[in-house]
Amino acid sequence: MLDANARALLDMVYRVGAPKFHQLDEDQARRSMVKLQHAFQPDAPAVASVLEVPIGRPGRGQGVLLARAYRPIGAAPSEALPMLLFLHGGGWCIGSVDTHDAMCRELCNAAGVLVFSVDYRLAPEHPFPAAVEDAALALRWLQAHGGELGGIAERIAIGGDSAGGNLALVTTLGAIDQGMPVPLLQCLVYPCVDIYAPTASRERYAQGYFLDEETLAWFFERYLPGPGDALDWRASPALAWDLLDRLPPLCLIAAECDPLVDEGRQLAAHLSAAGIDVERHEFPGLVHGFITLGGLFPQASRAIAVMAESIGRHLHVPGQTGPN
């Protein structure tokens, strides 16, 4: 059964006639997401500091990758902190560090870590694998230079929501594949795990639950224009069979009424069967996208507290007590 606030959101989207993402062009969809966040995100809490970080891409004329580093309230400037590399959601086509600013601030304070939020390149201007390359670059940079921000390079977690969860999982698998240092924890929020996932939830929640099948297809078509792209494990990480069993612990946040919920369940079950530490938290009656809409969904803060507790436990954050 839908949560009452989820029903109110869906009533606004479907009955008032608000256009859905797949009915818009990319610029309109990006503005629509910004408006949605402004309407329903909570007030952004204060943090100790916010720093805009430019990362040079390798190769002449490739420009810079921008990221935003948050230090938690109460952290002394000289205090070395564990770090969370965060990749925002938005179907690889929309969203930004700005749309996820309030959430990153709340998570930063709750977990007591430095949060490093990445403004990776978006499709269709920069289709697959541009976002994958940017996410991998951000992890390598943080491992090499995180100490310059007051972070502990050996104590890194990685996370993201939706498409950002996909990129976080892919980035971790890529580090394993390349023999590079691997994050100590994954915090994935309703990630897309398999582009062509033939799951019951893709059918059950195909219409009327915010992330409609037409919107999913709109995102996939823009992100993955090449033949066979969706069958590359860097797009569909569930296909990385030889790497999945080597993943670090997983904290998975899910929404019950989400077309992606079953592939998250399957990922959690696979990793758990492989002996990997998995904690999965499914929020009843909620829809995809709830975690950034804390002004409407009080469960968003509870989900952030759950992630903060997991980050504290795996990264040994001093003084971390976990959610109430």
Q: Is residue 321 predicted with pLDDT exceeding 50?
A: no
Which residues 6+ apart lie within 8 Å of 81 measured at CB?
71, 72, 75, 112, 113, 114, 150, 151, 152, 317
pLDDT for 15 = 75
Distance CA 170, CA 132 (A): 7
Orientation of helix 130-145 relative to helix 163-177, angle to 10°: 60
pLDDT for 323 = 38
Q: Is residue 320 predicted with pLDDT exceeding 70?
A: no
Burial class (CB in 10 A: 0-12, 13-18, 19+), 197: middle
Q: Is residue 162 annotated as a catalytic residue, yes or no?
A: yes
* pTM of the predicted structure, to 2 decimals: 0.96
Please compute the mean of the pLDDT values over residues 96-101 and round it to a whole number. 98
Q: Is residue 172 predicted with pLDDT exceeding 80?
A: yes
Q: Is residue 22 annotated as a catalytic residue, yes or no?
A: no
Strands lying side by side in the sheet with 49-56: 49-56, 64-71, 114-119, 81-87, 151-161, 185-189, 250-257, 278-287
Phi, psi dihedrals of residue 108, rounded to the nearest 5°: -55, -50
pLDDT for 318 = 53
pLDDT for 13 = 83
Please compute the mean of the pLDDT values over residues 23-29 and round it to a whole number. 94
Which residue of the set 258, 262, 310, 314 is catalytic?
Answer: 258
pLDDT for 305 = 98
Which residue of the set 96, 117, 162, 236 is catalytic?
Answer: 162
Which residue of the set 88, 100, 288, 314 is catalytic?
Answer: 288
pLDDT for 12 = 85
CA atoms within 13 A on the CB side of 122: 18
pLDDT for 322 = 40
The domain made up of 4-315 has a fold known as Rossmann fold (3.40.50)
Our measurement of the distance from residue 243's CA atom to the centroid of its chain's CA atoms, rounded to an integer in Å, reads 20
pLDDT for 19 = 79
Residue-wise pLDDT for 227-279, tens only, equals 999 999 999 999 999 999 999 999 999 999 999 999 999 999 999 999 999 99
